[in-house]
């Protein structure tokens, strides 16, 4: 008699590979964000006043900082939800035949699962610090390089600050959606 289903061990391995891929995606998003911020800062400096710079719309470039920050928050949220979903699946597999009562269970035992969440929280803190610093540097660069444009562009600066603050807060709230053992995934959403 041949098996027609995939063994739980293979499902477990596949899910863990996916968790690792999602963690790598979070790291890549952070690298992408840092690259975008440095590129935006370089563009602000490269376009500093002189010649025809009065015709440049620096305001649009400044809006790139909160856009990048918002995208980082969205990508971090997406990765956290995917990781939480996968960890709930892994926990279900760990509990097959009550194996979690006989073997250590990383996703089922709160001692391990919550410790992993606490460690991963530092990624969200690092992201929030980078968002705060990136937007502050962007606004400071505009303030110092284009002081004559600030008065004309106050709404853009306020929008930049508001969106950056929203992204910063979102990044600090993302740990609320981390996987917790013993809760159904729908409860965590």
Structure tokens at 180: 């917790």
- Provide the residue ranges of all domains of the chain, joining segments of one domain with +: 30-48+60-188
Q: What is the pLDDT of residues 50-84, one digit of tens each?
A: 655 556 677 788 999 999 999 999 999 999 999 99
Return the pLDDT at 137.
95
- pTM score: 0.85
- Note the pLDDT of residue 184: 52
Quick one: pLDDT at residue 112?
A: 83
* Residue 151: per-residue pLDDT: 78
pLDDT less than 50: residues of the chain: 185-189
Q: Which two tokens stand for residue 181?
A: 């053992």
Structure token digits, residue 106? 């990383």
Chain centroid to Cα 166, Å, comes to 13
Q: Which two tokens stand for residue 127?
A: 């992201």
């Amino acid at each position: 008699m041949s098996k027609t289903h995939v063994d739980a061990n293979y499902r477990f391995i596949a899910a863990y590979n996916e968790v690792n891929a999602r963690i790598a995606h979070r790291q890549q998003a952070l690298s992408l964000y840092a690259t975008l911020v440095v590129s935006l800062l370089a563009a602000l400096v490269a376009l500093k006043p002189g010649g025809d710079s009065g015709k440049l719309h620096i305001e649009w470039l400044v809006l790139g900082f909160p856009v990048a920050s918002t995208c980082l928050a969205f990508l971090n949220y997406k990765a956290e939800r995917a990781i939480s979903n996968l960890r709930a699946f892994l926990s279900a597999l760990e509990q097959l035949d009550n194996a979690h009562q006989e073997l250590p269970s990383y996703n089922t035992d709160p001692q391990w699962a919550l410790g992993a969440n606490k460690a991963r929280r530092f990624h969200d803190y690092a992201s929030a610090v980078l968002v705060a610093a990136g937007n502050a540097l962007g606004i400071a660069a505009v303030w110092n390089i284009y002081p004559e444009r600030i008065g004309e562009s106050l709404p853009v600066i306020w929008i930049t600050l508001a969106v950056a603050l929203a992204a910063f807060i979102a990044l600090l709230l993302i740990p609320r959606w981390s996987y917790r053992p013993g809760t159904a995934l729908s409860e965590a959403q």
